[in-house]
Copies of this chain bind each other. A is one copy, B any other.
Amino acid sequence: MPQMNMIEAIRDALDVKMSQDSDVLVFGEDVGYFGGVFRATAGLQDTHGLHRCFDTPISEGGIVGIAIGMAANGLRPVAEIQFADYIYPAYDQIASEAARLRYRSNGDFTAPITIRTPVGGGIYGGTTHSQSPEALFTHIAGLKTVIPSNPYDAKGMLISAIEDNDPILFLEPKRLYNGPFYGDPHAPAKTWRGHELGEVPSGHYTVPIGEARKISDGADVTILAYGTMVWVAQKVAEDMGVEADILDLRSLLPLDIAAIEASVNKTGRCVILHEATRTSGFGAELAAQVQERCFYALEAPIQRVTGWDTPYPHAQEWAYFPGPKRVGNALRDVMEA
């Protein structure tokens, strides 16, 4: 089986779809000749032609705007926003337009677009290269929001996203591009080589959107995580010797609430992890739903472990990041409650 890191898996998904379907176009800032600042589109222009993988002006609103128009004209555009921190100029086109076009036209027009963008911290990117804005999109009806945590899922979910007839925001945890990250920046960096989720089939396959993945089975506590935090969760649970049911949500909207419910009803305890700012983060929605559905099974308050309610600072990056210590404290609180 080919070994790929997450960037390679993403590139491969694009390559597979571009090869299969001439309606798939890929564009964004620096994605053409150069292949993207994270190299996710490297080589695609060479392989598929200048007109299928190209640079755009620095205009996130324009990028999503043309994607919508192309999609309405039958194409399947995949747009890259260089960092999720720069998606806000496109917020109107995403929330008011892509997400609502099908609804307001009652299905007369649709916008099957995929928007890829890197999220999360861990690269000393400071306030403007580290954000995790998923909750700003899960609030928007008509949009789907997904976030893979490994190469295998990244490829399979990106193919699913491109084939989906709804607009999809595809978030890529940049700290995981080269390897799993267990939360300790001082530990030697791991690569995806040798990791089972770094084994990525060549050719076409899909990972369905809307299904969580069980990372580990346990009876003591449920940990709900996605993106980078999946790996931090695994490490902390192992280190603490906690028998945790860890769910990698993968898809935030639609959400695999059935898997969550089953797990919490089994364990009676729940910890939710995300890197984003705490207040009104996606953890709030998860906590709200878990207590709505599993109230009588719960033996302790659901804990959220998150970034602080501040912008993502530069020098204090690791003080901001919800690392093993913060996760461990919450896990202990929940277990002891």
Contact = CB atoms under 8 A, between A and B. Distances in A.
Interface stretch (A30-38, A135-143, A212-220): A135-143
Nearest to A291: B291
Given A88-B92, A95-B88, A100-B127, A285 B280 contact: yes
A96 to B, nearest CB: 6
A142 to B, nearest CB: 7
Which of under 10, 10 to 19, 20 to 34, or 35 or more describes the interface residues of A? Answer: 35 or more
Contacts of A301: 291-293, 295
A92 B81 CA distance: 14
A121 interface: no
A311 B106 CA distance: 12
B127 A103 contact: yes
A61 B60 CA distance: 14
Name the residue in A85, A142, A279, A288 with the highest tally of chain B Cβ atoms < 10 Å from its Cβ: A288
A277 B139 CA distance: 7
Contacts of A309: 141
Name the residue in A104, A281, A311 with the highest tally of chain B Cβ atoms < 10 Å from its Cβ: A311
B281 A139 contact: yes
Name the residue in A292, A301, A308, A309 with the highest tally of chain B Cβ atoms < 10 Å from its Cβ: A301
Interface in A302-326: 302-304, 308-311
Nearest to A280: B139
Contacts of A138: 279-280
Interface in A193-242: none
A288 B311 contact: no
A282 interface: yes
A91 interface: yes
Interface string A14-26: 0000000000000
A128 interface: yes
Contacts of A292: 287, 301-304
A199 B100 CA distance: 41
A96 B129 CA distance: 12
A127 B100 CA distance: 9
A71 B300 CA distance: 46
Interface in A269-292: 276-277, 279-285, 287-288, 291-292
Given A284-B284, A287-B291, A288-B304, 7 more contacts: A61-B89, A88-B96, A141-B308, A280-B282, A287-B287, A292-B301, A293-B301
28 contacts: A61-B89, A88-B91, A88-B92, A89-B92, A91-B92, A100-B311, A103-B127, A103-B310, A103-B311, A104-B311, A135-B135, A135-B139, A135-B280, A136-B136, A139-B276, A141-B309, A280-B284, A284-B284, A287-B287, A287-B292, A288-B288, A291-B291, A292-B301, A292-B302, A292-B303, A292-B304, A295-B298, A295-B300
Interface of A: 61, 85, 88-89, 91-92, 95-96, 100, 103-104, 127-128, 133, 135-136, 138-142, 253, 276-277, 279-285, 287-288, 291-293, 295, 298, 300-304, 308-311
